[in-house]
A and B are shown apart, each in its own frame.
Chain A
Amino acid sequence: EPEVTQTPSHQVTQMGQEVILRCVPISNHLYFYWYRQILGQKVEFLVSFYNNEISEKSEIFDDQFSVERPDGSNFTLKIRSTKLEDSAMYFCASSDGAVANEKLFFGSGTQLSVL
Chain B
Amino acid sequence: GDSVTQMEGPVTLSEEAFLTINCTYTATGYPSLFWYVQYPGEGLQLLLKATKADDKGSNKGFEATYRKETTSFHLEKGSVQVSDSAVYFCALRDNAGNMLTFGGGTRLMVKP
Contact = CB atoms under 8 A, between A and B. Distances in A.
For the residues of B in contact with A, the DSSP-based class is loop
Interface stretch (A68-76, A77-85, A96-104): A96-104
B104 to A, nearest CB: 5
Contact of A107 (B43, B104, B105): B43
Contacts of A98: 98
A100 B31 contact: yes
Interface string B70-112: 0000000000000000000101011101111111110000000
Contacts of A14: none
Interface string A20-63: 00000000000101010000011111001000000110100000
Contacts of B31: 100
Contacts, number: 62
B102 A43 contact: yes
A109 B103 CA distance: 18
A45 B99 contact: yes
Nearest to A50: B98
Interface residues of A, number: 29
A4 interface: yes
Nearest to B38: A106
Contact of A48 (B32, B41, B49, B98): B98
A107 B51 CA distance: 24
A75 to B, nearest CB: 14
A106 B43 contact: yes
B44 A91 contact: yes
A95 B97 CA distance: 14
A48 B31 CA distance: 18
Interface in B23-58: 31-32, 36, 41-46, 49, 51
Given A48-B98, A56-B98, A100-B95, 5 more contacts: A43-B105, A56-B97, A100-B31, A106-B43, A106-B44
Interface of A: 3-4, 6, 31, 33, 35, 41-45, 48, 55-56, 58, 91, 93, 95, 98-101, 103-109
Interface of B: 31-32, 36, 41-46, 49, 51, 89, 91, 93-95, 97-105
